[in-house]
Structure 1
Amino acid sequence: MRDIPVLLDSYKLTVVEPPAPKMRDDGNGGLVMVTNRDGVTQFVVSLFAKLRTQPGQRSQKGEEIKVTLETDPGQDFPEDARVALINPRINAYQIDSPDGRSISGISFKAMGLAPAGSAPAPRGEK
């Protein structure tokens, strides 16, 4: 399964590293920008995700996540900005190494970023 929708409304998302073009190693010691199948540049942002707590509840530990963004978010998201993800999704992955070890996890992807509290409804909803 790919691009599983995820609901993050109960989390506070804070920018840790501002959005930047996503880069990967080209195999020759250089870096190249990551694009999708249509040639559109992908972006990446690091966020601190922490569960919102109700008054009187103990705050839980948060987690830093990296999110691939499918559109250019612009320059309006500096470090410490509170944001919302537009159309957030997760994908499971597994990488098998030649020495027999497997690495697995989930990756986050979103259409884009919006200031906290102003994210538009996901596609197909009103």
Structure 2
Amino acid sequence: MLQDLPVMLNGYRLMITEAPAVKTREAEDGTVSPVVDRLSGETQYVVTVFAKPVPVEGRRPGKGEEIRVNLPGDPGDKFGEGMYVELVNAVVNTYEIPDRVDPRKIASAGLWFKASGLKPVRAVREAA
């Protein structure tokens, strides 16, 4: 599996749609606990951003997509919904879950984003 592939998002505007919050995990018994980094011992956070392509003249505007981004710690309370941000050191990771019946097959696969932090950016006016 590919890990920590650098991601260039300079062709997108990123707007926070869910403010940073503690990342949690639910155990089989239903208890919920915060996710803690194994190396640093810090509680991890997650932020949801809407990634919309920057308009390019002569091209049809893209729709965009919401993505969740893991953060290594609390980015602070200055980041709220509706705010435009840049991801610091953004990377993407892939995962595969083998099929329970035939482990040679892949039952599920996907990717997840992480960044070392958030940086506020000025809001850019939407193209008419």
CA distance change for structure 1 residues 76 and 97 in 2, over 3 Å: closer, same or farther?
Answer: farther
Which moved further from structure 2: 52-61 or 14-23? 52-61
Following superposition, the deviation at residue 98 of structure 1 comes to 2.7
Matched AA of 2:56: Q
Other-structure match for 1:83: 85
SS in 1 for 2:28: coil
SS in 1 for 2:81: coil
- The 1-side partners of 2:101 and 2:18 are apart by 33
Deviation digits for residues 65-114 of structure 1 (CA, Å, limit 9, x no counterpart): 00001121111111111010010000011123535561111100000111
Q: What 5-or-longer segments of structure 1 have no aligned partner?
A: 118-126
Other-structure match for 1:74: 76
Other-structure match for 2:10: 9
What is the TM-score normalised by the length of structure 2? Answer: 0.84
- Are residue 25 (structure 1) and residue 30 (structure 2) matched? no
Matched AA of 2:8: L
Other-structure match for 1:111: 116
Larger Cα-atom Rg = 2
- The 1-side partners of 2:66 and 2:99 are apart by 25
CA RMSD of aligned residues (A): 1.5
Q: How many residues align?
A: 117
How much identity, in percent, do the aligned residues show?
42
- The 2-side partners of 1:35 and 1:97 are apart by 28
SS in 2 for 1:61: coil
Following superposition, the deviation at residue 61 of structure 1 comes to 1.2
Moved over 3 A (4+): none
